[in-house]
Amino acid sequence: MNINLLVQFLALIDELRDREEATAEFERLLTLCGFDYYGLLLAPRPVDEPSRLLLAGRWPEGWPELYLRRRYMQIDPTVRYLGHAQQGFRWRDTLGAFRTSPHRKRMERMMVDARNKGLEDGYVFPIHGRRGLIGSLSIGGKPVDLESVELGLFDSIARRLYWKLVHAVDPETAGRLAEVVDVELTRREMEALTLLAEGMTSHEIGRTLGISSHTVDWYMNGIQEKLAARNRHHAIAIAFRLGLVS
């Protein structure tokens, strides 16, 4: 077990002077723990260039280019699973959550391509803030079995390192992410908004939630008013920006 190494790194983070020193020490820690690759990212959002989300990372040669060229971010099971995760999870466990997905074959193809590049397995640790999901840490390479205590320590490291690098790289973004979101949506409004962000129509949302499409439209009107959105598309864009959905 690498508990002592992980605890020592947690104690060291605040003493690291800048982004370069923080990433160098973290990469040394990963090597000692048996991981070859990693990515520390801002929360996935519908942006034109997913590479802009990267705060720090080390990937196999050619993998980022292949990932972007084949538009894997749109169907990546680890990214899709991340939107609902509250704690760290293993890459290989995510496919099981999408057995009936129409994108299942592309997901499997992505996993095969990843293994061929040396990304055989790994873990993702979600990072939450006042605006919901704000980032994630992905580590991997050869399969490594982490125990529950180690998973908890990596969760803590992910949060601390994320804020260290965000403040160093983009203080403006750090301030925006730390702001309190003065929007209070009801549970039903959040459920409807989440399903809307997944591309569902009012009829489909109503069927999923067991309510009429007219009731869904009522919730949507309330959501648009609270978010000061011009229409549903605008409401989704604002919700992504605020971290209400991911």
Domains of the chain as residue ranges with CATH: 3-178 (3.30.450.80), 187-242 (1.10.10.10)
Least confident of 75-79, 172-176, 222-226: 172-176
**Which sign, positive or negative, has the C-alpha torsion 187, 98, 63, 138?**
positive
Q: Are strands 54-58 and 37-42 parallel, antiparallel or unpaired?
A: antiparallel
- Residue 76 pLDDT: 94
Q: How far is CA 50 from the centre of its chain?
A: 12
3-state DSSP: the chain helix, strand, coil percent, rounded to 5? 60, 15, 30
**Which sign, positive or negative, has the C-alpha torsion 56, 59, 61, 62?**
negative
- Residue 10 pLDDT: 94
Instruction: With a cut of 60, say whether residue 99 has pLDDT above it.
Output: yes
- Residue 186 pLDDT: 86
Tokens of 207: 């069927």
CA separation for the pair 77, 92 (Å, rounded): 9
C-alpha distances in angstroms, 242 versus 61, 129, 173? 34, 11, 12
CA separation for the pair 43, 54 (Å, rounded): 9
pLDDT tens digit sequence for 65-97: 999 999 998 899 999 898 778 899 999 999 999
